[in-house]
Amino acid sequence: MHYETDLPSVHLEGETITALEGILRKGSTDPDLEFKLTHETATYRFVSGEEFMRDVTLPAFFRLFEVVLEAREGQITLTADKWDTGFRLHITGDREWVQSRKQEIEHFFEAHGSSLRTSLERYLGIALAVTAVIGCLGLYYAGLGGVIGVQTPIDTLLFGALALITGGFLHYLLEVIYPYTLMVTGTHHRRTLPYLAT
């Protein structure tokens, strides 16, 4: 069986990484775990969260990372991509194992993730465009469209397009200010917003 889904926004650090590792290993026979962390052109590989949290030579955080667990029952892969808005879960293997792993992993990220950041990522651009179009149509039909340059109902589409462009810019800004997914290394996990300090 194969299962794949998007996961919510999350910043993994300290005890959360240890808890994630426990969730991934749970219910698996002979599990092999690998953390693959990428920063610029360098890629670091570790067999446990504890191992990389002790490494003081690592960068403060990683936006691009992959966590892979291979066991007799199947494989779990968590993939975070810096700009592809993304945090994806892939599970392949025995049906019962996939179902149990899926439920526990999704529950873990629901408990530790940021629902506000996830909602902003998924709906900000569309919400801005719909609001702009409805607002402009409301002004047009109220006889106030000329105030903002809406001469016909079709003109509202221009405002919708501008709202989508604004949403794209805000998405970029949001990714800089509060990244969708982040893995914070052990020596930096107590600092507030370490990604803004570098």
Averaged pLDDT score across all residues of the chain = 86
Show Cβ contacts of residue 45 under 8 Å, excluding neighbours closer than 6 positions: 34, 35, 36, 37
Question: For residue 25, what are its two tokens?
Answer: 């290993």
Q: Which comes out higher in pLDDT, residue 82 or 27?
A: 27
pTM of the model: 0.78
How does pLDDT run across 89-125, given as a tens digit for each residue? 999 999 999 999 999 999 999 999 888 888 888 888 8
Q: Which comes out higher in pLDDT, residue 197 or 161?
A: 161
Closest among 94, 64, 104, 96 to 81, alpha carbons compared: 64
How does pLDDT run across 54-83, given as a tens digit for each residue? 888 888 888 899 999 999 999 999 999 866
**Is the per-residue pLDDT at 186 higher than 70?**
no
DSSP classification of residue 16: H
What pLDDT, on the 0 to 100 scale, is given for residue 198? Answer: 46
